[in-house]
Structure 1
Amino acid sequence: MPLVTTKEILVKARKEGYAVPAFNVTDMQSIQTVVKVCEEENAPCLLEATETTIDTYGAEYIAAIVKVAASEAKVPVAFHLDHSYRYATFVKAIKAGFSSVMIDASQKPFDENVRITKEIVKLAHSVGVAVEAELGHVGQGSSDEEENKKMYTDPDEAAKFVELTNVDFLAVAIGTAHGLYKYEPKLDLDILKKISEKVSIPLVLHGGSGTPGMEKTPPLGISKVNVFTDLQIPIREKAKEILTTQPLEKLYTPTIWKPANEAAVPVIREYLVKLGAKGKA
């Protein structure tokens, strides 16, 4: 089937109380691996790519691979642009056929975040592409916990932001962070509950990797959880093992990256199950 809209996948998830893990993919092998596991679990498949991936391969190239995967898949597949800041990147992604894009102006003051987000919403909605934005700020796991807490999403501001921007999904800061944590993360479910009571659109959690208690968030409005670091760890470890144990004459790209990506299969399956996406295709 052709690519579906991210919005239809996430609106259904919010309505039914589960979340869809959004797996960050970087090449053909990672795309094929995620799609295969989603098919096995009969789960909706949400792939996403960063600006770095687009800069490396080109939006048209990476989108073309995803479109082929979607056309052969037995489950719905959507493709999302993660964390973008450059207008030119949005244009490239939209022209390439991405299902949705994320404008991240969360480090800007509220009014400026609103202004920037509205510009991207106007651009994307004109061609039927959904938009994710962020309010509050999801920091880095390498930062101090108290510093990250200062950037949590305010529920009243979240309601106002959604009303002013007409954004389709909202990423919130409630205790997660990007990358590896140097402290034990704790989700603030009370803040999430208050946000969910005021905001009816699908909510998004970034920094899902390494965060305990994620399964408690879908009933409170979380419909999308970004996953990258937890995929990369087993992929890197397997690639290192192959490169350091196999004879040089037996090494070429498929013999390295296909098994390396397959090392992430248990992680992909675990997220689909614990977030409730299994069986929801």
Structure 2
Amino acid sequence: MALITLENALESIGTKGYGIGAFNIANMEMVMGAIQAAEELNSPIIIQVAEGRMKYSPLHLIGPVMIAAAQNAKVPVVVHLDHGSSLSVISQALELGFSSVMFDGSQYPLAQNIEMTKKIKELAKKKGASLEAEIGKVGGSEGDYENIEVLITSVKEAKQFYEETQVDALAVAIGTIHGTYKVAPNLQFNRLNEIKESITCPLVLHGGSGLTDDDFKQCIAKGVKKINIATASFESVVKKVGAMFGNSRDITYFQHSNAVVEATYENVKHHIKIFGSDNRI
């Protein structure tokens, strides 16, 4: 249907009470599987790649694949840079035609995060792209996972950040982590609701893999409109490919390729139904 911006995708939700899945991909097959699921369910979708995984999926190679897939899709697709931290990579994504980028300045003091976010918003605006930012700190890290402590988002800081930056979407930390949960997360739903009541900005949930259906639905009810899924998709691919080779060693490359598409399709389809974005076009 079209390559659209994150701002347009999230605006379309309005008060309808659903969320849009943002699915990290690593290769062409994963792009194909994600788009297939969205088209089958008549759902908008966000496909994204994180700066921390550029050594596996170089942006100059995977970016054009993502954009071409969006332009030829039967549903609205946002092509998004996830967890951009360097100006060079963010600029590269914008030059390639990404319709949305994230600047993750959560490692900086609030004032510096605000200042840098405002500068990057101007760059995105010139390219007609949307900007997501982060306040607080989600545990783990995008890329090869590290043990980074969660820093729950402050309502006061979220309000100040949004008032000064006017970003199109704001990622907040409520107790989720990137990667695999070793124990059940203690999600701060009250804090999420307080943030929702303080600002009008669409909220983003990172670290979605491993949460329960009810967790997702509570987050959506409390203002989350974009939900990131990465690890669940990658693990789905590994599981399906592993099972395929476990049953037979006589596997062709193209059977392997089809398995990657199918595993991604199944995981994306599963989450789209949980988020309630099916049949929203």
TM-score by length of 2: 0.91
2:140 counterpart SS class: coil
Segment of structure 1 superposing worse, 25-34 or 262-271? 262-271
Q: Is the 8 A contact 1:14 1:218 kept in 2?
A: no
1:132 equivalent in structure 2: 132
Question: 1:32 is matched with which residue?
Answer: 32
1:187 match: secondary structure: coil
| Displacement of 1:143 | 8.2
Question: Which range moved further: 217-226 or 135-144?
Answer: 135-144
CA contact 1:78–1:99 (8 Å) conserved in 2: yes
Alignment gaps of 5+ in structure 2 = none
Shift of 1:280: 1.3
User: 2:173 corresponds to which letter in structure 1?
Assistant: A
1:118 aligns with 2:122: no
Structure 1 segment 1-281 matched on structure 2, within 5 A: 1-140=1-140, 147-148=149-150, 151-212=151-212, 213-247=215-249, 250-252=251-253, 254-281=254-281
The Cα shift of 1:54 comes to: 4.2
AA matched with 2:227: V
Contact kept, 8 Å, 1:176 with 1:187, in 2: the verdict is: yes
Moved more, 211-220 or 59-68: 59-68
User: What count of residue pairs does the alignment treat as equivalent?
Assistant: 276
Task: Say which SS state the counterpart of residue 2 (structure 2) adopts.
Answer: coil
Greater shift after overlay, 203-212 or 46-55? 46-55
Q: Secondary structure at the match of 2:12?
A: helix
Q: How high is the sequence identity, in percent, across the aligned residues? A: 34
SS of the aligned residue for 1:18 comes to: coil
Give the Cα separation in 2 of the matches to 1:45 and 1:233.
20
| Aligned-partner Cα distance in 1 for 2:235–2:249 | 23
Quote the offset at 1:55 in angstroms: 4.5
Secondary structure of 1:13 counterpart: coil
Distance in 1 of aligned mates of 2:123 and 2:75: 29
Please give the alpha-carbon distance, in whole angstroms, between the structure 2 residues aligned to 1:258 and 1:87: 36
RMSD of aligned alpha carbons: 2.1
Distance 1:14 1:110, change over 3 A: farther
Give the deviation of 1:209 after TM superposition. Answer: 0.4
The one-letter amino acid of 1:234's match is S
Shift of 1:244: 4.4
CA contact (8 A) 1:17 1:219 kept: yes
The Cα shift of 1:73 comes to 1.8
Q: Give the conservation status (yes or no) of the 8 Å contact 2:140–2:177.
A: yes
**Is the CA contact 2:21–2:271 (under 8 Å) kept in the aligned structure 1?**
yes
CA distance in 1, matches of 2:126, 2:147: 41
The 1:123–1:144 alpha-carbon spacing in structure 2 relative to 1, beyond 3 Å, is: closer
Cα pair 1:14 1:221 within 8 Å, conserved: no
Q: Mark the CA change 1:184 to 1:166 in structure 2 (over 3 Å): closer, same or farther.
A: same
Going from structure 1 to structure 2, the CA distance change for 1:53 and 1:96 (only over 3 Å counts) comes to farther
Which whole-Å CA distance do the structure 1 matches of 2:167 and 2:101 have between them? 11
